[in-house]
């Protein structure tokens, strides 16, 4: 009997600063393990409904924590975000529009959703773009060589809107409230690999423990091709 292919389930939200920091690590991890794993990227719905708020409410928290994210994650928050967008504080933090964009891109390119999630994080935290503006997603489409108006049409379709609501509900039903969260599903078991930022080395070791096999001594032979 052939084991089912393992799957990484990555729960993130574009508005989550630690997700911005985590994605280079996750990208590296997936590059190392992509021969053995499928990757599923979810829109978490961190700020929706009555949790939608202006950036000013979180400005003090972000100002006090972004250097920690930079140091631990080797990412850089952009000058425009730090010197203009953050002090102004008027940008509305709403997970819905970037969620629609992620699902629209995922519908077009199911195997490349992580790249789209990373672009969205950079759009906010590096480039200081407003995620509530359609022009931001036209830029996204151009960056991925998609005709902009076609992308906007998919993104604003009833089908994607319904899929996003289902996804937000699914994430909530799992009890996932903090991001980033990374789960490994393998042989009908689910392993929590990360709840919050976790370094590459720790994630790699956990994957080796679950998917690798012990040989002589302390060596681990990792099973990456099935």
Cα 92 to Cα 107: distance, rounded to the nearest angstrom: 26
- Output the pLDDT for position 145: 98
What predicted TM-score, i.e. pTM, was given to this entire model? 0.91
pLDDT value of residue 176: 94
**pLDDT of res. 2:** 44
* DSSP code string of 119-172: HHHHHHHTT---TTSHHHHHHHHHHTT--HHHHHHHHTSHHHHHHHHHHHHHHH
Contact yes or no for 73/25 (Cβ under 8 A)? yes
How do residues 76-113 score in pLDDT, each as one tens digit? 999 999 999 999 999 999 999 999 999 999 999 999 99
Low-confidence ranges of the chain (pLDDT < 70): 1-3, 213-226
pLDDT of 214 reads 27
- Report the pLDDT value the prediction gives residue 220, as an integer from 0 to 100: 37
| Contact (CB, 8 A) for 181 and 45 | no
**What pLDDT was estimated at residue 186?**
94
């Amino acid at each position: 009997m052939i084991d089912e292919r393992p799957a990484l389930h990555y729960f993130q939200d574009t508005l989550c600063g630690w997700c911005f920091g985590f994605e280079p690590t996750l990208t590296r991890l997936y590059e190392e393990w992509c021969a053995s794993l499928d990757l599923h990227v979810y829109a978490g719905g961190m700020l929706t409904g009555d949790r939608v708020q202006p950036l000013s409410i979180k400005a003090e928290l972000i100002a006090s924590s972004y250097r920690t994210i930079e140091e631990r994650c080797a990412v850089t928050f952009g000058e425009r975000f730090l010197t203009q967008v953050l002090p102004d504080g008027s940008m509305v933090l709403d997970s819905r529009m970037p969620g629609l964009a992620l699902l629209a891109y995922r519908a077009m390119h199911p195997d490349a959703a992580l790249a789209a999630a990373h672009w969205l994080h950079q759009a906010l935290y590096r480039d200081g773009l407003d995620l509530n503006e359609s022009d931001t997603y036209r830029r996204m489409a151009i960056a991925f060589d998609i005709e902009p108006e076609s992308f906007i049409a998919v993104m604003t379709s009833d089908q994607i809107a319904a899929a996003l609501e289902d996804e937000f509900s699914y994430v909530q039903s799992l009890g996932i409230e903090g991001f980033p969260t990374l789960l490994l599903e393998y042989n009908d078991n689910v392993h929590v690999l990360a709840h919050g930022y976790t370094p590459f080395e720790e994630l790699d070791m956990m994957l080796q423990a679950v998917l690798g096999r012990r040989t002589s001594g302390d060596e681990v032979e990792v099973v990456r091709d099935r």
